[in-house]
């Protein structure tokens, strides 16, 4: 799943209005933020394999330290603890933990059976990526729902809060369309370097969210 993860970040604002969208967006993206670092370090591996699924040419055959269920829980605890150590906001920390773990749960529906329960454990995945139309519909509906929930939970205080938010949503849509329609990437190394740019998304979300406020 891709923009479906962003939907979780947006929707989480309703549950944890005190938490910056930067944190809330980073939580469901966290496994994918760490993953390219693992790839470049040679700890995890993937390959470009057109036809691996009908939706994406990427074969995620070895990523137990970021994308196993057990490790997603570990990363979630660490991420929630980091936030709690800075804010003492227990509710926010729990929401961030759930956001991190949601990544594995959402991927479970879209991936083929390549998601381990723990490093070296059995792998699962329902394979919705083999049904591109269903994947696009489900992710689009999730994304729209997340954006709508965020819009109803907050309001812009200035132009940055409105235009920055709108630009963020448009950017995510454009990137998702490019991923769907574009040619396969040339190598796993290119995928890893491009994936590192995803670190900009939580920072962008933090920026415009600081110019928005919770609706009463």
Which pLDDT value is given to residue 216?
73
pLDDT, residue 208, reads 98
> Contact, 118 vs 71, CB < 8 A?
yes
The number of residues making up the chain comes to 216
Residue 8 is assigned to a structural domain of this protein = yes
Q: What pLDDT band is residue 121 in, cutting at 50, 70 and 90?
A: very high
- The pLDDT-based confidence of 112 (bands split at 50, 70, 90) is very high
**CA neighbor of 3 nearest in space, from 80, 110, 83, 160:** 110
| Residue 61 pLDDT level (bands cut at 50, 70, 90) | very high
Q: Are 79 and 73 in contact (CB under 8 A)?
A: no
Domain-embedded: residue 216: no
Residue 4 structure tokens: 């479906």
Q: Is residue 168 included in any domain, yes or no?
A: yes
Sign, Cα dihedral of 162, 164, 170, 176: negative
User: Is 150 inside any structural domain?
Assistant: yes
Give yes or no for a contact between 33 and 199, defined as CB atoms under 8 angstroms apart.
yes
**Per-residue model confidence (pLDDT) at position 188:** 96
Q: Residue 56 is part of which domain span?
A: 3-211
CB-CB neighbours of 186 under 10 Å? 9
Q: How far apart are the first and last CA of the chain?
A: 33
DSSP classification of residue 154: E
Structurally, the chain folds into a number of domains equal to 1
* 133 three-class SS: helix
């Amino acid at each position: 799943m891709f923009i479906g993860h962003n939907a979780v970040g947006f929707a989480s604002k309703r549950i944890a209005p005190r938490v910056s969208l930067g944190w809330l967006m980073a939580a469901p993206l966290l496994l994918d933020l760490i993953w390219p670092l693992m790839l470049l370090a040679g700890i995890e591996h993937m390959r470009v394999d057109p036809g691996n699924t009908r939706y994406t040419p990427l074969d995620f055959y070895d990523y137990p330290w970021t994308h196993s269920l057990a490790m997603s829980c570990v990363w979630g605890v660490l991420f929630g603890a980091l936030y709690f150590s800075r804010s003492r906001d227990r509710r926010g920390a729990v929401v961030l933990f759930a956001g991190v773990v949601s990544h594995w749960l959402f991927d479970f529906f879209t991936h083929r059976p390549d998601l381990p329960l723990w490093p070296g454990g059995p792998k699962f995945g329902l394979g919705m990526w083999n049904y591109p139309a269903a994947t696009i519909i489900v992710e689009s509906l999730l994304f729209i729902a997340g954006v709508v929930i965020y819009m109803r939970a907050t309001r812009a205080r200035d132009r940055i809060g409105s235009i920055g938010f709108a630009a963020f949503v448009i950017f995510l849509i454009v990137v998702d369309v490019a991923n769907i329609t574009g040619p396969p990437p040339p190598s796993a190394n290119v995928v890893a370097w491009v994936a590192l740019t995803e670190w900009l998304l939580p920072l962008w979300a933090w920026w415009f969210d600081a110019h928005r406020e919770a609706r009463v």
